[in-house]
Amino acid sequence: MTCKKPIILLYNRDQSNHNCFYLYNVLASFLCLNRTNMNLGLIRMFCAFTLIARESLCVEIIGGKEASRHSRPYMALIENKNILCGGTLIKTNWVLTAANCQIDKMTTVRLGVHSRIKTDKLVQQFQIRRAVRHPKFDKNKQVNDIQLIELSKNATLNNAVKILPLPTTFKEIKAGMVCETAGWGRYSNKTPNPSDKLMEVRLTVMDRKKCKSVYQPTFQITRDMMCTSEEQEKGICNGDAGGPLICKRVFIGVSSFGPIICGIPNGSCGDIIGGTEVAPNAKLYMAQIITGRPLCGGTLIKPSWVVTAAHCNINKKKTIVYIGANSRTKNNQRKRAFVSKSIRHCDYNNVTYDNDIQLLLLSKTSLQIKRVGFLPLPKTAPQIKAGTVCETAGWGETDPMLNSPSSDKLMAVNLTIINNEECKRRWNNMQITENMICTTVNNDGKDTCNGDSGGPLICNGIYTGIVSFGRKKCGQPGDASVFTRLNNKYITWINEEMQKAEQHL
């Protein structure tokens, strides 16, 4: 699992921007600062919010390192029974955080924290006198995601507790600049738990045009935003919303929200939850694609061709495809092939997961391998109505609560189709395109989850979709899983790409 999503920063240049005027007015009135001291250059420099699209408070330090003890004395740890957020001490009794951090009367703020668990005499704990959320915060669009917290009393400043002041001048943040952030969120995609120790990571500012190509149309990347990205296994992704982004020792932004899938293919919910073991030789078209962890599934549609998800990262030198298998571990059932060519859809968007489809040309024909079958492409896309019961299969995890390993045996599960409008509602109005089809998680908790992205969705015996993404916490009744819809556009694309590739063999 990797964390390679760009991070978006709202980056205000316009003095008329209401975010900055809001901050200006709040600080002026609540912090007793007058307007001559609070110049607009200071405010607009501060108005920067990190956004790591797509959903949930996914702001954790992935692939970072433990910070030196009390090396970031401005860090605030904000907790209640429902949330863990970061924040920044900007005045002795004021902390800045994200509006998506749900503050209640039981919320506490701790300063001077390095370990969340161990007792430290330098730690100061506070109740909250009031929380001032931006009045135009939109939790669906994640705009104006900024909040001020007034502490119940002034903090005592020392080596473990210090203020990170607002900047006094405005400077352009250019592509290539290396910035940093910190927090106590998850530090590895292999564990659901937040970090005990404060972690930090470095991130690089991204070119705006590249950012737009990744995020739009789901998020409009305006001139008031900037993005950061980093190499695999690094990034911010659950638990540190509200923490600071710092560039050249200047406070630039506030961590806002993040992807369901922290990088590719992390969280690309594709394992079978609540399913049953498939009888041997019942689904001989199933392909198991070993790309690292997690694995992916696929569908053998012709002797040398497998369809899978675009977010499954294929390395021709390292990726192995097993076909005609039921068990992952019994070598006598596993028939191995390598990838000669991978063709990812040119319009694939690794944030929205639109066009999440990929073709693999195997290095040898599956006709040379015994005990395999094909699931042919339909000539035309089927019209699947809401309420239709479909089926999917894979070798992914079978119990998300236990963080179980991938299943040894091929598992299958029946899932019920819901319409795209209902799916969009369940995903908090996230973009669900016409290229997607969704299934519901009923009270029995049956679902797809981590490990089988790329596997087939079969409705009425027809190849209908490809496992794409779902919630990080799988199998929760009322949620929805999303598949790439195998529509006429994709059927045409697959046939054309196969024909072009075979002409050059």
Counts of helices then strands in the chain (DSSP H, E):
5, 32
Give the Cα-Cα-Cα angle 190, 195, 201 (nearest 5 degrees): 85
Closest CA to 362 of 310, 309, 299, 312: 299
The CA distance from 269 to 426, in Å, is 16
The H or E element that residue 94 is part of is strand 94-97
The CA distance from 400 to 407, in Å, is 12
Structural tokens at position 339: 């990838």
Name the residue with tokens 């980056």.
Answer: 11
The CA distance from 334 to 123, in Å, is 56
Give the Cα-Cα-Cα angle 279, 285, 286 (nearest 5 degrees): 70
Contact 418, 480 (CB under 8 A): yes
The CA distance from 84 to 57, in Å, is 9
Strands 48-51 and 250-255: parallel
User: What's the Cα-to-Cα distance from 497 to each of 54, 76, 242, 500, rounded to whole Å?
Assistant: 30, 53, 45, 5
Residue 235 main-chain phi, psi, to 5 deg: 150, 180
3-state secondary structure 336-395: EEEEEEEEECCCCCCCCCCCCCEEEEECCCHHHCCCCCCCCCCCCCCCCCCCCEEEEEEC
Q: Which residues contact 93 (CB under 8 A, 6 or more apart)?
A: 129, 150, 151, 153, 154, 155
Closest CA to 234 of 43, 61, 441: 61
Active-site annotation holder among 304, 406, 453, 468: 453
Active-site annotation holder among 224, 271, 356, 479: 356
Q: Which residues contact 86 (CB under 8 A, 6 or more apart)?
A: 59, 75, 76, 77, 78, 97, 182, 183, 184, 185, 240, 241, 242, 243, 244, 255
Q: Which residues contact 164 (CB under 8 A, 6 or more apart)?
A: 74, 88, 89, 90, 244, 246, 251
Name the residue with tokens 């999503």.
Answer: 5
Q: CA end-to-end span of the chain, whole Å?
A: 34
Question: Is 196 an active-site residue?
Answer: no
Active-site annotation holder among 70, 311, 345, 354: 311
Provide the phi-psi class of 353: left if phi over 0, else alpha when psi is between -120 and 50, else beta.
Answer: left
Question: Is 271 an active-site residue?
Answer: no
Question: Is 195 an active-site residue?
Answer: no
Residues with catalytic roles = 311, 356, 453
